[in-house]
């Protein structure tokens, strides 16, 4: 998710409470970003969580990603598992009993709506093993 890459809308003014302003300033300083970028990121995540109840966000600023609350899994991980079972939700549930119908529906809907956000994670997870070992020679493949 990269709100700063999206076309900008019309400017408008907003006044926050002192505590909210302090939170924004602290986050801007911590991440070395402008207050506008912080407010935009907060707003984008809050809007997505309201639109997709059960989705939250985690990870550092550079690799922020959506995850499905209660599953312990990122949206892209559930999407990858679903893809590996050719879309067969029943097989996925049988193989991963902590993933329930709601998790699958939520991950599928979010991944479809925000393809551009989820795609890089899917691509990275599909890298061939030999490529990963070349990048990270300390890895050992489990047999």
| pTM given for the model | 0.81
- Listed in sequence order, the residues at least 6 apart from 91 whose beta carbon sits closer than 8 Å to its beta carbon are 85
In this structure, is residue 24 part of a structural domain? yes
pLDDT of residue 108: 95
In this structure, is residue 90 part of a structural domain? yes
- The pLDDT tens digits of the residues spanning 61-120 come to 888 999 999 999 999 999 999 998 998 999 999 999 889 999 999 999 999 999 999 998
Question: Cα–chain-centroid distance for residue 118?
Answer: 7
Which among 12, 103, 101, 1 has a CA at the least distance from the CA of 61? 1
Whether 41 and 86 share a structural domain: no
Angle, vertex CA 57, rays to CA 141 and CA 96, nearest 5: 50
Whether 124 and 67 share a structural domain: yes
pLDDT of residue 99: 93
Whether 142 and 84 share a structural domain: yes
Whether 14 and 59 share a structural domain: no
Contacts for 78-87: CB closer than 8 Å, 24+ residues apart = 78/103, 78/104, 78/107, 78/108, 78/111, 79/107, 79/108, 79/111, 79/118, 79/122, 80/122, 80/125, 80/126, 82/107, 82/108, 83/122
Whether 90 and 37 share a structural domain: no
């Amino acid at each position: 998710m990269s709100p700063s890459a999206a076309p900008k809308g019309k400017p408008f003014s907003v006044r926050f409470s002192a505590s909210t302003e302090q939170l924004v300033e602290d986050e801007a300083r911590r991440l070395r970003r402008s207050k506008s970028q912080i407010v935009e990121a907060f707003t984008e995540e809050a809007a997505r969580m309201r639109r997709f109840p059960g989705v939250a966000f985690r990870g550092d600023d550079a690799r922020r990603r959506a995850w499905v609350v209660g599953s312990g899994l990122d949206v892209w991980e559930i999407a990858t598992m679903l893809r590996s079972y050719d879309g067969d939700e029943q097989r996925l549930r049988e193989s991963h009993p902590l993933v329930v119908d709601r998790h699958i529906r939520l991950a599928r809907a979010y991944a479809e709506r925000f393809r551009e956000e989820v795609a890089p994670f899917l691509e990275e997870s599909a890298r061939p093993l030999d490529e990963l070992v070349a990048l990270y020679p300390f890895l050992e493949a489990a047999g």
